[in-house]
Amino acid sequence: MSTMASSQHHGASLRPLDGKVAVVTGGGRGIGRGVSLRLARDGARVVVATRTAETGEEVAQEIIRQGGEALAVACDVADPEQVGEMVAQSVDWAGTVHILVNNAQSFGGRRRSNPRHTIEDYPEEEWLDILRSGLFGTWYCCRAVFPYMKAQKYGKIINFGSNNGLYGQPLKVGYNTTKEAIRGFTKTVAREWGPHGIRANVVCPALESDAMLDARSRPGSMTADPSVVPLGYFGDPERDGGGLIAFLASEDGDYLSGNTICLEGGWHFMP
């Protein structure tokens, strides 16, 4: 299922991502929404891929109202057939894919957000759900766009890791393991696909997203208060998250590949 809406810019000054096509998974809310809006503002034609068609369409329409071009596609990244269809629709609409942002991620169990379990009691169903949407979904999406990036000898892939994974936050072993696996996957992508002109990097964010707010509201949450961040606040998904992704996706970020960037105001320096 997809809906396309677009608005052409006439006489606009050249922007960093003019002429580029970006796919953002999980683009219907939170960090994905912020990234989608920023990439569009910088000139990219944006495919908002999200499991919930309504939220994807809302973001696409928001982009259009701001003068950009967007395609909303309903897609569960845990399903390789849906991923293939989503990329095919993107290419039918825009001709190719230059930028892939793998943001979609289940937190374990489609009925819950941010479940907390000890390692010995972690439900296998939730572990597999996290792996399928995060690690497998990232692989499916990369695999689907690779032929187009290879053919044009150019591509930017930005995957999402997590500070939880970097520092092994207790009671989140499924999520932590998945995010660390994505980092290992991304480094391999950078090495294997670099000769084709494809760059791949990981961003580990601490942004004031829907997921962050939900986690902080739970009893016993280990999600910190913004006061622990040296800069004193969690970043904004569009300004800070979208800003970094737009930089990595632009020509200014061409010589960065295989890196992990912690976007969290210096929080990782804290004991």
- Report the catalytic residues: 175
CA–CA separation, 232 and 246 (whole Å): 24
Q: In the chain, which ranges are E strands?
A: 2-6, 21-25, 45-50, 69-74, 99-102, 155-160, 198-205, 260-263
Please tell me the total number of residues recorded for the chain in this structure. Answer: 271
CA–CA separation, 125 and 128 (whole Å): 5
CA–CA separation, 42 and 45 (whole Å): 9
| φ and ψ of 122, to 5 deg | -70, 125
The answer for 200, left when phi > 0, alpha when psi is -120 to 50, beta otherwise, is: beta
Is residue 5 exposed (0-12), middle (13-18) or buried (19+ Cβ within 10 Å)?
A: middle
| φ and ψ of 199, to 5 deg | -105, 145
Q: 260-263 and 45-50 as β-strands: parallel, antiparallel, unpaired?
A: unpaired
In the numeric block, which tokens belong to residue 5? 């809406």
- Reduce the DSSP state of residue 75 to 3 states and report it: coil
